[in-house]
Amino acid sequence: MQIREGNEKTVQTQVISAIVKASEAMQINLSDSAIKIITEDLIDMYQYESIQDIIECLKQGRRGVYGVNSYGKLNLELISKWMQIYLDGKYLAKENHEKIKQSLIEKDNDFDAEEFYRKGKEYIEAQKELNKKGNQFSNATYNEIKHQYLKEKKDKKNIDNNIPS
């Protein structure tokens, strides 16, 4: 939900909470009036973004994702820099996601059902031919294999028993 679409009191409460968490985590004391001013300015400046965007940006900022705050300050200027970095990353990721999605759609559009089914039919026919060739087993072939096996077994037995064949 975009900030401008939300209940004003709820939006303010959530943004204030995120600012307070960031200031406490960074061990920076902000006065109530400073928190209120920063909150109002953030809501005004980023009214077309979601509340979650501001909260996530402040969370990442306090964790040092955007660099170390060596000045020991938490003000609108710093938060605006964080928001710019956060939103650039967000929209870049969204743009990349859309490109990948479009690429997949284009690949799906290249699908040729006629060719797919033709190749599938060719494959099935080739498998049937292989099965036919593999199943050409007659009684004559069976008898030949059986006699060869028995002869080899008899020869082996004779060798083991030292009997000449």
Per-residue pLDDT of 98-157, as tens digits, reads 888 888 777 766 667 788 788 888 888 888 887 777 666 555 666 777 778 788 878 877
3 confidence band (pLDDT: 50, 70, 90): confident
Question: Do residues 62 and 135 share a domain?
Answer: no
Are 27 and 62 within one domain? yes
pTM above 0.85, yes or no: no
Same-domain status, 150 and 124: yes
- Residue 102 structural domain: 3-109
Q: Is the pLDDT of residue 38 over 90?
A: yes
Q: What are phi and psi of 2, to 5 degrees?
A: -75, 155
Looking at residue 70, its pLDDT comes to 62
Same domain, 33 and 63: yes
d(CA 58, CA 23): 9
The tally of CA atoms less than 13 A away on the side-chain side of residue 41 is 14
Q: What Cα–Cα distance (Å) separates residue 129 from each residue in 122, 134, 155? A: 11, 9, 38
Domain count, the chain: 2
**Is 165 within a domain?**
no
